Amino acid sequence: MYAWGKGIMLAKELIAASTEPLILSLLEQGESYGYALIQEVRRLSGDKIEWTDGMLYPVLHRMEENGWIKARWVEVENGRKRKYYSIKKDGQKALKEKREQWTVLNSVLSGLWKEQHV
Amino acid sequence: MFDLDQAIAEWRQMIAAGIKAPVPLDELEGHLRDDIEEQMRSGLTAPRAFEAAVERIGQAHALKLEFTKAGETKGDDMINHNRMYSAVLAIFTVLTAVNAIGLLMWQRSVGGPIGHLPEWTVPWMIALNFAYSVAMGVTLFARRYRPESGRRLTWLLNWALLPALPGGTVLGVYGLWAVDKEETQYV
């Protein structure tokens, strides 16, 4: 999974590490499907995180196998079907852990950078 | 005249033929269609929107890498029923062909009834063995080179195999039960 932004480019490793927490956080707000998840991440990041389309699905399927999320097919307009994903209990647990880790990282970096600027 | 459904069907076949890992074709097609609709809403023509969407979702080659990478951790401990089925089908194709040829040669050289079966059944048995062998061979070929039609043919063949006691019945039941399940596709 890679990303590029207007001016800045997120490192591949950073994108890879943040994909699962991002998906889990988005699904905690309600069920969604692959295409919408990509659009939503793009919008929220101001086009700075752009998941490649083909990459998202293997990640979603792996998370489904882990028991973090579950999927169901929903019939939408003109007979088409869409695979909607929603978060499960284990997914919420995993999200909580990831959230704590990212919060620690965020506060340490923020603190360090604040000192530098003062 | 550009036919979007046709273009998408061809794209599906290309993806299915190019990737050996299980691929959620239906889900990817849904994604592609969402993207095409979005592009067309912002003014692109259907062919342009299709091209752009295919490029974004990744060509067969790039998709293949993604799914192969993701598939590495699983699949090793799982029985790949589709592959197993194809292998058994190949053996059955050869066996029934050999059986048919054997019966034909026997009829020409020795003749007469086989066991307690009346003589008139022999030509029918030869024809039936040939028919099954051809049907299985064609299905096998389609599964390898025309995955979409291969799935339909497989389904038909499995039902046709059910009365062919005992081996055909077992293979038919196995095929109906385990092969081409869900939207994932093994080639």
So what's the ipTM on this one? 0.79
- Write out chain B residues lying below 8 Å of A54, CB-based: 28, 57-58, 62-63, 66-67
Q: Model confidence over B122-159: pLDDT tens digits?
A: 889 899 999 999 999 999 999 888 777 888 899 999 99
The answer to whether residue A4 scores a pLDDT higher than 50 is no
Residue B11 CA to residue B27 CA, distance in Å, equals 13
Query: Does B74 contact A at CB distance below 8 Å?
Result: yes
Amino acid identity of residue B37, one-letter, is E
pLDDT band at A111 (very low <50, low <70, confident <90, very high): very high
- Write out chain A residues lying below 8 Å of B64, CB-based: none
pLDDT value at position B74?
A: 44
- Write out chain B residues lying below 8 Å of A81, CB-based: 26, 30
Q: What's the whole-number mean pLDDT along residues B50-67?
A: 77
More confident call, A114 vs A12: A114
In Å, the largest CA–CA distance within chain B is: 77
Percentage of residues in chain B having pLDDT higher than 70: 83
Q: Model confidence over B82-100: pLDDT tens digits?
A: 888 889 999 999 999 999 9
pLDDT band at A103 (very low <50, low <70, confident <90, very high): very high
The count of other CB atoms within 10 Å of the CB of residue A64 is 16
Q: Does the model's pTM come out above 0.80?
A: no
pLDDT value at position B121?
A: 85
Residue B119 CA to residue B167 CA, distance in Å, equals 24
pLDDT value at position B60?
A: 64
Residue B11 CA to residue B58 CA, distance in Å, equals 11
What is the distance in angstroms between the Cα of A18 and the nearest Cα belonging to chain B?
17
Query: Does B33 contact A at CB distance below 8 Å?
Result: yes
Query: Does A16 contact B at CB distance below 8 Å?
Result: no
